[in-house]
Amino acid sequence: MTNDTMITVQQTARPDGFPTPGLFSFVESPVPAPGPGTALVENLQWSVDPYHREAMDSDEIWTLNSPMEGRTLGRVLDSRDPALRPGDLVLHRAGWRTHALVTPTKARKIPDLGPGVPLAAHLSLLGGTGLSAYVGLTRIARLQPGEDLFVSAAAGGVGTAAGRLARLLGAGRLVGSAGSARKVAYLTEEVGFDAAFDYHGGPVPQLLAKAAPEGLDAVLDGVGGDHLEAAIASLRPFGRIAWVGAVGQYHSLSAPPPAPRNLFDVVGKSIRLEGFLVRDHADALDELYDLAVPRLRDGSLPLDVTVVTGFERIVDAFLGMLRGENLGKMLVAQEL
């Protein structure tokens, strides 16, 4: 690739089950010039997320043989709008490409937060990943100090952010599920979970009941299926479930997991189950900054990220994330 060449990743066919590298193509074209009201951005870091798997099945989200989208951090190279100046660092959604044309309404300038806050924080703990965890805990599950919490898929980006933030919010017993012994150890030894289990080790309701024998007050669930059933079973009366995703069904949308067999217990135990989209809670970002930024600066709040270097490896990073190879948030970066 030369300085005047842009590369975009395009999806060429719909997946049948788990995606394969052959479903993607890397397409070269000239770097576009910005027109009035736009800016040219060189992308530096890319987020690969579980929701991208669901997007692969949708004509409304990802059109075949067109550039794909995703959360991205980049630097403005050239601009035809005074709101964006060369050198500005911006977040936008025109990802899966080396360069992008953005408008001020579609890009958000990154504030200078000083030393201790690396660029990777803006796509992880301070980005949509961390905001999903924060909103789920504070606005949906309404976690209170001393309350016991279960986080499913806890070793991923949202899960590790939820664990870190829950500790700052004063959570009581913190329990997580993960997909391997390595991830279980990471949760208990690095992130601060009191207990964690490998969901391959038996029926999830039984594993959760063992890890939280006295029950739970709140749940942040990103899996669905048997994890949601386990959450309902272990919640105390008037418990709350913040439902942020259903990664358990992303590879089998034609035959999703059955609904929890104990769904009516939501009524019997007066449980509140609420799904949410983080895009509806952008106003919570300042609250997240107030909580997290001082602790990032003083080093007391680590980032949980797995970084794959090189844009040419973005498909490998995406498939690796779906296979569970990451600890924390999976990012692709040209520089950190």
What does the pLDDT look like over 178-231, one tens digit per residue? Answer: 999 999 999 999 999 999 999 999 999 999 999 999 999 999 999 999 999 999
Token look-up 């017993």 returns 173
Pairing of strands 99-102, 174-178: unpaired
How far is C-alpha 253 from the chain's CA centre?
20
Beta strands in 48-126 (DSSP E): 72-79, 89-92, 99-102, 107-109
Distance CA 81, CA 267 (A): 54
Residues 6+ positions from 248 with CB-CB distance below 8 Å: 223, 224, 225, 226, 227, 257
Residues β-bridged to residue 94: 70
Distances (CA, A) of 18 to 15, 74, 180, 313, 319: 7, 30, 19, 18, 9
Residues 6+ positions from 301 with CB-CB distance below 8 Å: 125, 164, 168, 292, 295
DSSP label at 330? E
What confidence score (pLDDT) does residue 17 get? 87
Sign of CA dihedral 142, 120, 312, 69: positive
Token look-up 């997946």 returns 15
What confidence score (pLDDT) does residue 115 get? 86
Question: pLDDT over 70 for what percent of the chain?
Answer: 96
Beta strands in 164-322 (DSSP E): 174-178, 195-198, 216-221, 235-243, 272-275, 305-309
Task: List, in order of start, the domains of the chain with CATH numbers.
Answer: 5-124+303-333 (3.90.180.10), 131-279 (3.40.50.720)
Furthest-apart CA atoms within the chain: distance in Å: 63
Q: Which residue ranges in the chain fall short of pLDDT 50?
A: 1, 253, 336
